[in-house]
Structures are given as C-alpha cells and as structure tokens.
Amino acid sequence: MFQNFMDFMLNDFFVTGDPLILGAQVSIALASVAVVFVLTYFKKWRWLWTEWLTTVDHKKIGIMYIIASILMLFRGGVDALLIRTQLALPNLEFLHADHYNAIFTTHGVIMILFMAMPLMFGLFNIVVPLQIGARDVAYPFLNSLSFWLFFFGAMLFNVSFVIGGSPDAGWLAYPPLSELSGSPGVGQDFYIWGIQISGIGSLASGINFVVTILKMRAPGMKLMQMPMFTWSVLSSSVTIMFAFPILTVTLFLLFIDRYLGAHFFTLDGGGNPMMYINLIWMWGHPEVYIVILPAFGIFSEIVSTFSKKKLFGYKSMVFALMSISFFSFFTWAHHFFTMGSGANVNAFFAVTTMLIAIPTGVKIFNWLFTMFRGRITFSQPMLWTVAFIPCFIVGGMTGVMLSVAPADFQFHNSYFLIAHFHQVLIGGVVFGYFAGLYYWWPKMFGFKLHDGIGKWVFWLWNIGFYVCFMPQYALGLMGMTRRFNEYNFDMGWQPLNVVSTIGGFIMGLAFLFQVWQIAHSIKFFKKETSGDAWDGRTLEWSIPSPAPMYNFARVPVVTSQDEWWEEKQRIANGGKPKPLAPLEPIHMPKNSAIPFIMSVFFFIAGFGFVWGWTWMIVPGLLGVAICMIARSFSYDTDFYIPVDEIERTEAAALKGAN
C-alpha cells in the first residue's frame, strides 16, 4: 500500500524529470516559506486577515486584483520567453515537444483570463464607484466572492505546472486534443475547473458592475453624463453577462465528455468537434472586446485630461462602445473561415468583421480631434496613450486583412495571425491598462510612480514590442505556422526568429524596470496631497488620495458631464463653491470571511474533480453549500460610520493637503 502511494506521488501527482519544473517547485517552496516567515516575524497574520482576506472594500479588492494580475504577468511572461527561446534557432532542443505544448497552452490562458481580466476588474473596482459618486459597488459581498473565486481558480490552474501536469491541448482546448483520447492526464481537468471557478467570479463581477452603474449613480448624473470609462465598463460588463455563460456551458460539456464518457464533441460517438469550436469562439471573440473596451474608456479619460479639453464626440463614443459590444457576438466564425462553412456563411462573418472596424475607427478620430489644439501634457499616462494609437491602427488594419475570407486562407494559422493578435492585445489591452495604472496610481496609493524610470519602462516596452512582433508578420507571409516547436534550417526563418526573440527579452527587461519603478517609488515616497494629481475632470479627483473607506463624505450632486472640472472652472472664474450639506452617518457593509472560505471550498471541490476523488469533492461542495446557508442567515452585515469619525478623517485629509 505504501509503495503504491509513493509510486503515485512520484510518478503521477508531482511532476518530475524536468529541470525547469524542478526549479519552479523549489522556487514556489522557497517563496512560500519566505511569505510565512515575513508574516510571522512581523506579526502580520491578523492584519492580513482583517484588512485584506475578509475585506469587502471595493478599493482594496481592486488592489488585490492588480497584484494578482502582475504576478500572472510574470508567470505568463516567463512562458513567453521560454517559447521565444525555443523558436530562436532551428531544431533547438531547449524544450521537448510536450513541455512546449504545455507552455504554449498555459501562456495563452494565463495572459487572457488570469492577467488581463483581473487587471481589468481591478481598475473597475478602484475607479467606477468613485467616478459615479457611489460609496461602494451594488453588492460588496458578491464583489469579494468574485475576487476570491478568480484567485482560487487561477491557483487551481497554475498548480498543474508542478502537480499532475499542465494542460497541453492549446489555450482554447480544441477536441479531440482535449478529450480523454488526446489528453488522458489530469492537465485538461485542471484547465476546465480552474477556468470554471474563476469564470463564475467574472460573471458575477459583470452583473455587479452593470447594477452598480445603472442604479448607484450620484443624484443628477444621467447616463449621458457618465465618464467615458464608466461607459466602457458598462459595455464590457454587459458583454460579460452574455458571453461567459457560453464558456461555462462549453467547458461543462467537455467535462461531461471526459468524466462521464459522453460524446458531445467526439465524432466516433456521434458528436461534433466543430460544435465545440463554434461555442468556444462565441465566447472567445466577445472576450477580446471585453478586455479592449475598458482600454478605450481609459484612453478617452486620459486624452481629455491631458489635452485640457472636453472629449470630442461624446455621443459618438458612447454609440461606438455599445455597438462594438453588440456586434462582437456576430463575428466568431471568422476564426474558422477555412473550415468549409460555405461561401454565404463566410461572406456574412467577413462583412460583420469589417463592420465592427467602423466604430473602432470612430474612436481613433475622436481622440485625435480631442488632442487637436489642446494644451497637451506628455505625462506617463499620455505617453502610453499616444503610443497606442499607431499600434492599434496597424492591429486594426491587419484585422481587416484577416477578415477577408479568401485572404484568410493564406493567413490562417500562420505567424501573421500571431502578430495581429498580440498587436491588438498588447498594443491595445496591456498598453491601455498600463496607462490606466499610471493614471489612477496616485488615487490608489497617494503617490505618483517615478517619472524618469517610467520613461525607461515606456521605451523598453514599446521598442521590445515592435522588435518582437513586426518580424512575425513577415514570418507568417513566409509560411511559418503556429503550434510547432521547431523548424528546419532550410526554411529561412532563423534571422527573423532571432530578432523576434530579442524583442521578447527586451519586453522582459521592461517588466523588471517596472518592478524597479514601483519599488523605488515606494521607498522614496512622495505623498500626493491634493487628491487631484493630474488636474482631472471627473469625480474621483474631488476626494483625498487614497480615498477614505466611505469615498465621499457627502454624496455629490452632478449637473454636467465633467462635473469636477466644471466646478473648478466656475470657482476659478469667481464663482462660489457649492454649499456643503451637513454630514450624516454613513451606512457601510461589514467585512466578511465567508467569500474567502467559500472560495477555498470551491478550490477543494475543483481539485477533487480534477483527480476524481469523491472523498474530496463531497466535503468541498458541502462546504460551499454551508457557506451559502451561513450567508443567508447573516443579519449583522452592515454598520454606520458616525459623524465625528467622518469629521476626523476629513480634517486629517485637509491637513495633509495643506
């Protein structure tokens, strides 16, 4: 019995035999010991529990999302560098084929679902309630649960790297590679349950922010007076509500295939793999717009602020955002023009794909016209915004090229597609969220990030990006296809692959500079005392930085689109400030441990499903049910902040500003 247990642990449970994975296991162990030591040595366990693990404060939840996304950026970035190292030279044996497939799979999943999505939700949490004059989101408890479901789903997926083995069927897990016949190990089950658990959190967040925006705006704030970032969050969240249930059902059907021997996607049992591909892209292409739409909102805020002008074409921007959200559900089949759907189907999806480029182009012109004759200040957020515009134009143009069905027969599955995808996702999403981080960083933490190091970060990221991905367009046109881990000397692809790999490592260096920038800014802390770090236009800049627990001592009354800017201009022109309403006790939600505990039980159940361990599945699901029941009988869930405490907090903020 003991021998069988040891054989299982060494041969099936823990991943052994690969030096890179052994190094990861050692690193994880050392990092875990270091974290435990630091928390114990500085006696911070109670602080961690009361201030962070059980918090329902949307600002702290946003910060935790951002920290998690930076960690995932590191993990996904290391995967990318391993891929580029393997492809730098012909017939290189740096990664064997199975390990390459696993890294190829985990890189895509981590970057989209566990890096871009939490970074997006982090900015949602930090900014939206402040922009609409609310004191929290609509459902604070659900907001906390959403984060912890994401976190433990991500951990369940990532643990496969050292336990059980990573999934290796590609980041979208096409059958039959993802069926038991193609992936008999547990890696694909880690994929399914990691994404399922985090996906529940993403769907809940989408619902939460739709309700928050529609029902919790400050008095007087009409829909057409909302800041553009809030509009972009609304369009993205509505898309989440319709897209993520498709992902949940699709992965559940795949799980039924693997766990119960069904044949939804297996040809030999009467199923159809193309049904899976249709379903996964019905979610997958809206997902691209889910993460890019908030970036459009960020750029709109930044362009307006640093051009000292009202956003040009506000109504057309709103229409563009919402129309992109709508049309994103009618473009999925352009991912498989080559699958033989027929000329009529291909023509329809080619037209819809071209059509969605129109509102995207509208936004580019709106930003340019906002900057036209503006008093532009090239601070760090504005640098990222200006760099985005030409980058995204190239990404959009190559996207239109891919939308032409006959041309796509040549581009499909080639490195041309890889270059386009990263042009849009890095040049649009990552650069956009970096711009948002630099813009709202003073609001989160009360200090700006170091400007000099920030310029190094900016140029290294941008130079590395173009050096890495521009050669890949040429490689695609030369016939280099994706998903292969090696190529022969006579292909002629080596020089451009070497250049591309150098670009990848430059971006890796940029990330290290970014970490240095954050560490340097924390060490040489310079408090931003005004609360209005960039002379902003929207309500979040009207309160102290970082924002107090209750956000607004008095709920603002909104009368115009750029309420804070209009108020500052009116006072500068000799007008009197608005009369202040008397302070009243503020109703706030209490912290709760249930979201964290429930998510731990979700993790336990998911881990049990991965291995088929009923003895773990049952207590995991039972724990989830008990947490739900406990929540339903929780009545002491809120409290009031008394007026004297509000006065002390506001006085301290005013003293700091002076």
In tens, the pLDDT along 244-298 reads: 999 999 999 999 999 999 999 998 888 999 999 999 999 999 999 999 999 999 9
* Band of pLDDT at residue 655, cut at 50, 70 and 90: confident
Q: pLDDT-based confidence at 525, cuts 50/70/90?
A: confident
Q: Decide if pLDDT at 654 tops 90.
A: no
The predicted pLDDT at position 653 comes to 82
482 secondary structure, DSSP code: S
pTM (2 decimals)? 0.96
pLDDT band, very low/low/confident/very high, at 10 (cuts 50, 70, 90) = low
Residue spans of alpha helices (H) in 425-572? 431-445, 451-477, 494-523, 563-572
pLDDT tier at 409, thresholds 50, 70, 90: confident
Q: What is the C-alpha separation between 303 and 307, in angstroms, rounded? A: 6
Higher pLDDT, 528 or 258: 258
Distance CA 607, CA 441 (A): 36
Q: Give the residue from 387, 383, 470 showing the smallest Cα distance to 423.
A: 470
In whole numbers, what is the pLDDT of the chain averaged over residues? 93
User: Which residues neighbour 197 within 8 Å (Cβ) at sequence distance 6 or greater?
Assistant: 149, 152, 153, 156, 599, 602, 603, 606
Q: For 380-384, 620-624, 652-656, which range has the lowest pLDDT when averaged over its residues?
A: 652-656
pLDDT of residue 25 exceeding 90, the answer is no
pLDDT in tens, 618-639: 999 999 999 999 999 999 999 9
Cβ-based burial of 490 (10 A; exposed 0-12, middle 13-18, buried ≥19): exposed
Mean pLDDT confidence for 409-418: 91
pLDDT-derived band at 114 (thresholds 50, 70, 90) equals very high
pLDDT (tens digit, 9 = 90+) per residue, 49-103?
Answer: 999 999 999 999 999 999 999 999 999 999 999 999 999 999 998 998 999 999 9
What token pair was written down for 510?
């940029």
Describe the crossing of helices 187-215 and 97-109 by its angle, rounded to 10 degrees: 10
Write the pLDDT tens digit of every residue in 187-237: 999 999 999 999 999 999 999 999 999 999 999 999 999 999 999 999 999
- Asked whether residue 9 carries a pLDDT value surpassing 80, the answer given is no
Mean pLDDT of 153-176: 93
Portion of the chain with pLDDT greater than 90, in percent: 83
Average pLDDT for 571-578: 85
> What pLDDT, on a 0 to 100 scale, did the predictor assign at position 8?
67
From 239, 149, 161, select the one nearest 194 (Cα to Cα). 149
pLDDT at 577: 83
Q: What value does the mean pLDDT take over residues 129-133?
A: 97
The first and second tokens of residue 469, run together, are 């991905």
- Residue 568 Cα to chain centre, angstroms: 34
Q: Which residues contact 199 (CB under 8 A, 6 or more apart)?
A: 113, 153, 244, 247, 248, 251
Residue 453's pLDDT is: 96
Give SS3 for 163. Answer: strand
pLDDT at 5 over 70: no
Q: What is the longest distance spanned by two Cα atoms in the chain?
A: 86
How distant, in Å, are the alpha carbons of 213, 229, 287, 367, 583 from that of 242?
Answer: 17, 20, 10, 29, 41
What does the pLDDT read at residue 555?
A: 93
pLDDT value at 124 more than 90 = yes
**Residue 11: pLDDT over 80:** no
Across residues 492-498, what is the average pLDDT? 96
Instruction: Please tell me the least confidently modeled range out of 407-411, 546-550, 601-605.
Output: 407-411
Evaluate if residue 658 carries a pLDDT over 60: no
Question: pLDDT-based confidence at 581, cuts 50/70/90?
Answer: confident
Contacting residues for 637 by C-beta, under 8 A, at least 6 apart: 141, 589, 590, 592
- Mean pLDDT across 473-483: 93
Q: Quickly state the pLDDT bin for 575 (edges 50, 70, 90).
A: confident
DSSP-derived secondary structure letter, 175? T
Contact 155, 603 (CB under 8 A): yes
What are the angstrom distances between the C-alpha of 371 and each of 353, 361, 439, 562? 29, 16, 17, 17
Are 334 and 353 in contact by the 8 Å Cβ rule? The answer is yes
Residue 353 reports pLDDT greater than 80: yes
